[in-house]
A = this chain, B = another copy of it.
């Protein structure tokens, strides 16, 4: 059966190198280097860390956890494999860290709308913001999608907690709009699903979009055309009135 090994709580929001979590970056020896030298060093480390994370995101988001080897990530981040394993104790920890960074990007745009706003404007805005993400961070979108398809073994908890309560709050907003007669009667969940689905499609199915339309969201004209069309479909619908 499929790998049962639970991608466990290699968690902790800690950002120091692997395994030696307890050990401070600098030892207790009298400071030979100046403060600025130390901070430069710290920044170097942090840079390397994020270079690795970036490379990992790029590869994981295309080929998945199992389709990507540590070697490939290391090569892309321009570090040696064992060096990479100094920063992240093992492959799974690397993966988990990539995912964690993702989630914040993910939840961000939704926070945006509240009952006081005009629903049409709020939703039109949301569509644009999500499409910007699909354009600028397609790999984030893809990795999120990959994770979902696999049954979200790692995000399940977050799904049940953070995302769920956030969605419930926003559903209330939508419900309020409907009850105030400012929005056609629609189930909040389905509306949210529709918004997510359409906007993320341009990232996750980017290849298909390109094959069929000949364009990418990077093409400014196509981007605007996309925003407009999606807004029109969801807001006005396609039936003649």
Q: Once the chains are docked, how many angstroms separate the CA of A148 from the CA of B163?
A: 26
Q: Which of A164-195 contact B (CB under 8 A)?
A: 164, 167, 181-184, 186-187, 189-194
Tell me if A65 counts as interface (CB < 8 A to partner B). Answer: yes
Q: How many residues in A have their beta carbons less than 8 Å from beta carbons of B?
A: 72
Complex alpha-carbon distance, A189 and B201, angstroms:
13
Q: Which B residues lie within 8 Å of A152 (CB)?
A: 207-208, 211
Give the dominant DSSP class at A's interface.
helix
B2 with A63: CB separation less than 8 A? yes
Q: When the two chains form the complex, which single residue of B67, B119, B149, B202 contacts A142, counting CB atoms closer than 8 Å?
A: B149
| Beta-carbon contacts under 8 Å, A115-150 to B | 119-120, 123, 142, 145-146, 148-150
Query: Which chain B residue shows the least CB distance to A1?
Result: B72
Give every chain B residue within 8 A of A62 (Cβ-Cβ). Answer: 2, 149-151
* CB neighbours of A1 from chain B (8 A): 72, 75-76
- Distance in angstroms from A106 CB to nearest chain B CB is 11
CB distance B238 to A234 under 8 Å? yes
Closest to A197 in B: B201
A3 touches B67 (CB 8 A): yes
Give 16 new A-B contacts, CB below 8 A, not counting A1-B76, A197-B198, A232-B237.
A145-B149, A146-B149, A148-B204, A148-B205, A152-B208, A159-B207, A183-B239, A184-B237, A186-B229, A189-B213, A193-B202, A194-B230, A194-B233, A234-B238, A235-B237, A236-B237
